[in-house]
Chain A
Amino acid sequence: MLFNSYAFLFCFLPAVLISYYLLGRFRPGSTVFLLGLASLVFYAWWDIAYIPLLLISISCNFVLGTAICRSHSSGQLRTGLTWLAVCFNVGLLGYYKYAGFVVDNLLLCGWASQTLEVVLPIGISFFTFTQIAYIIDCHAGEVREYSARNYLLFVTYFPHLIAGPILHHKEMMPQFARADACRLDPRNLAVGASIFVFGLFKKVGIADHMATYATPVFDFAHETGAVGTIDAWFGALAYTLQLYFDFSGYSDMAIGLSLLFNVRLPLNFNSPYKAVSIIDFWKRWHMTLSRFLRDYVYIPMGGSRCSATRRYANLLLTMLIGGIWHGAGWTFICWGALHGLYLVINHAWRGMLNRCGINDSGMAIEWAYSILTFLCVVVGWVVFRATTLSSAETILWAMIGGGTTTGGQVIVGSPMHAALTIIIGLTIVRFFPNVIDLFTAQNPTCHPAHLCDVQSAWARRFAWKPTWKYAACCGLLLYWCIFMIGARGHSEFLYFQF
């Protein structure tokens, strides 16, 4: 079930919301069970065949996690169980997500005789990473034992199950265990509904529109191996915007939905295209994945408390794992490696400036850094989106003027209209406050407020208030989205495939 489908908007969400508060009134202890059950229905909507795998994964991790927590006395047993659990998770992910890719490559080398067709269970990357973090924390003694019911909900909680944010048990479990979680809070309902509507608009109104410009270019480059310079730029910039609005729209919807149930999710985006360096970009883009990679991959490898060479190697490896996490394909591996390289260069540059005592502050330099960062990110997205490395090369080559024609042929509709749309999109992501900025005063996420940007004058001016004007605007946006979904059909979120 998609958040932007009529089935979700008109049936599932109202039914679950009403049941949750009704049950909360009469049997508050059962609301966690209700949400868990609703989440399983939500997941089974795609294919009920995925449910056993999800339940097996949850059961094994819960049993192993509990066993790790209880094995205080035996360090060896504890480590052994942790390794077993991590291998189980990595093995599950490896088989369902990467086995086909590995066999395809072996086939190319002549070391395999036939392809392996494995259906990728939706959201497997998200629920596996969530549980690996849990297991490692069990080993570190940072987990107190939780009830099976709460653990089931922690993993399957429907607002985040399919495309994140990647949750941390420390943030979520106390919220699920709270006695007043099912008490109707009009403010949370109002804030949650408004954030959800903004997220829906980002997806339906902006991301899906950008897709009409991006998709033909990438498809054309893949099919024909040639694309014009203008088309290549249109495609790359449109995809840059599409991905941001699609994924951040999903994250906003998840935050809004969760708040309807009085549960605060972590912040996942903080205006990433305003970043002034790649380091800054990764503090703002898919923040929960960055946190996972930092805490459970980079730091255990030694992090930055080692030699510069080792630190750079750790960074590269961490980003490579981040790339592979996104999908089984050479484009994702290259994208991860590219961002690893960006980070290494960024850290080396900072180190050099520090050693030489050069001050790189100032508006002009910040702008230059910002533009350079954005261009690097766009190049990365081309590799990320392209069907093959060769089509990525086609587009990148065209972007630097090596295209076969001047372009303007592949873009659907008028190129002027496309250019205007992209400029408006870039202006929004670069200069406007993001959705969560507008709601900072309401604490819609479980992130501390200081992680958000310092509120700009715009954000303060347009900050959410429970007024009839704001409600009417959100109502208008919701109407617009509902009819756009009816006209265009509901499209999948880009991060579903990961």
Chain B
Amino acid sequence: MRYLITLLCTCVLMSTCHVVLVVGLGRVPIQAEYWLAEVIALKRHLAQNISLPKTVIIGGSSAFFGVSAEALARSTGTPVLNQGLHAGMSLESLLVHARAVIRTGDLVVMALEPKFYTDDRTRTPWMIRNAIAWNPDSGLDGCASDRVAFAFTVAPHLLLEMGMAKLGEWRRDPAVLKRIRARSAAQETAQPLNGPPVKSFSYSPTNVNSHGDIMNTQGTPKRYVGKPADTSLPVALSAHARSTLSTFIKEMNERGARLVFVHSPYMFITPPDPHQVGKSDEEFQHQVVGLGQFIDRRNDLLFPKECFFDTQYHLNHAGRAQRTELLAHSLRAYLAR
């Protein structure tokens, strides 16, 4: 029995140390996507300087890359902000940042990727990493039980990385200090992020225009990792997504903002059966009845691989022009009703 007791005690002891360390270390500058934190801050800043009422495009990176708010503003004659962020974020987190930029009278266009509709509160390693690094919208800032629950989602090797980053912070390691600077810049929402405009593509706030659009997405880079999702598959709205969206929509109504849904673009290599895609679209729209209205069809948003940039979510410059035109058309039709 002594053997079993030793085994279990070691495990319990290690687990306790793990939880205490994660909770104790708190936010640590580990390697993460700090550019996103900076982009969020930049978009918040842009929203403050844009005239009202405006159109706000909400979504993940599919909206960030796939809509030109600048062209849409020209086309519709209203100010437009591209609030597209990252598809790796949770729906809750995405909407927290959306709330910060929406004002009375705004038109909110929900251009969410399918994964947001199926969100079931699962924390992905990507979310956990960014939560530790910079995202304040995580369990790490909650009550004690939230923090302990969060600690259980931190892998042991990530805890090691946290320790190394903390050590780097104390030793003033340049790489770690750079991350801390990025995080601090992101926290200064009132300040525009200064930097020379870039001529080539990079995931950086300096590669974002005054409408919140990402720039320099011409062509298709060499290291393309896109694998198309099956466009004919129906999307199942999760209970969590339904309740999160309901709360958000209610808030927007109270705030006096109108809200519509649009599809995100889908990639295809061989053209899918339009009947099947339409059927899946119809099935999905049945599920969102009561939440809001879709003003376009999934069938209109099927794009060939050539229209995509570096992943299946990111349209390139040419694809974005087409998608923006389609969106402008749908919005005009909606506003004319």
Contacts and interface: CB of A to CB of B under 8 A. Distances in A.
Contact of A189 (B4, B158, B227): B4
Main secondary structure of the interface of A (DSSP, over half): helix
Contact of B7 (A409, A475, A480, A489): A475
B10 A476 contact: yes
Given A475-B10, A486-B153, A487-B125, A409 B224 contact: yes
A489 B10 contact: no
Instruction: Please tell me the size bucket of the interface on A.
Output: 20 to 34
Interface stretch (B11-19, B66-74, B190-198, B314-322): B11-19
Contacts of A489: 122
Interface string A458-498: 00000000111011101110111011101111000000000
Contacts of B18: 479, 483
A43 B125 CA distance: 30
A399 to B, nearest CB: 20
A132 interface: no
A475 B158 contact: no
A220 B227 contact: yes
A193 B4 contact: yes
Given A484-B156, A487-B158, A478 B4 contact: no
Contacts of B3: 186, 190, 466-468, 470-471
Interface in B148-181: 152-156, 158-159
Given A479-B15, A483-B152, A487-B154, A223 B10 contact: no
Contacts of A476: 10-11, 14
Contact of A471 (B7, B13, B152): B7
B225 interface: yes
Contacts, number: 85
A194 interface: yes
Contacts of A194: 7
A471 B225 contact: no
A488 B14 CA distance: 19
A475 B2 CA distance: 13
Contacts of A479: 10-11, 14-15, 18, 156
A386 to B, nearest CB: 15
B6 interface: yes
Interface in B178-229: 223-225, 227-228
Nearest to B155: A487
A483 B13 CA distance: 13
Contacts of A467: 3
A13 to B, nearest CB: 13
B227 A219 contact: yes
Contacts of B227: 216, 219-220, 223-224
A88 to B, nearest CB: 36
A475 to B, nearest CB: 3
Contacts of B7: 190, 193-194, 197, 471-472, 474-475, 478
A410 interface: yes
B156 A480 contact: yes
A219 B152 CA distance: 30
Contacts of A468: 2-3, 6
A475 B14 CA distance: 8
B269 interface: yes
Nearest to A6: B152
A471 B6 contact: yes
Most buried by A among B7, B128, B153, B269: B7
B289 interface: no
Nearest to A469: B6
B1 interface: yes
Nearest to B15: A479
Most buried by B among A468, A480, A486, A488: A486
A339 to B, nearest CB: 30
B9 interface: yes
B228 A223 contact: yes
Nearest to B159: A483
Contacts of B269: 223-224
A471 B9 CA distance: 9
Interface string B295-329: 00000000000000000000000000000000000
Nearest to A216: B227
B4 A472 contact: no
A60 to B, nearest CB: 36
Contacts of A410: 225
Nearest to B6: A471
A486 B155 CA distance: 7
A216 B311 CA distance: 14
Nearest to B128: A487
B156 A409 contact: no
A479 to B, nearest CB: 4
Contacts of B156: 479-480, 483-484
Contacts of A220: 227
A190 B14 contact: no
B9 A475 contact: yes
Contacts of B13: 475
A224 B305 CA distance: 11
B311 to A, nearest CB: 12
B8 interface: yes
B4 A190 contact: yes
A64 B125 CA distance: 52
22 contacts: A186-B3, A194-B7, A197-B7, A220-B227, A223-B228, A224-B227, A410-B225, A471-B3, A471-B6, A474-B7, A475-B9, A475-B10, A475-B11, A476-B10, A478-B11, A479-B10, A479-B18, A483-B156, A483-B159, A486-B153, A486-B154, A487-B128
Given A190-B4, A487-B153, 8 more contacts: A193-B7, A219-B227, A472-B6, A476-B10, A476-B11, A476-B14, A482-B11, A483-B156
Interface of B: 1-4, 6-11, 13-15, 18, 122, 125, 128, 152-156, 158-159, 223-225, 227-228, 269
The 8 closest A-B pairs by CB, nearest first: A475-B10, A471-B6, A487-B155, A479-B14, A486-B152, A190-B3, A475-B11, A471-B7
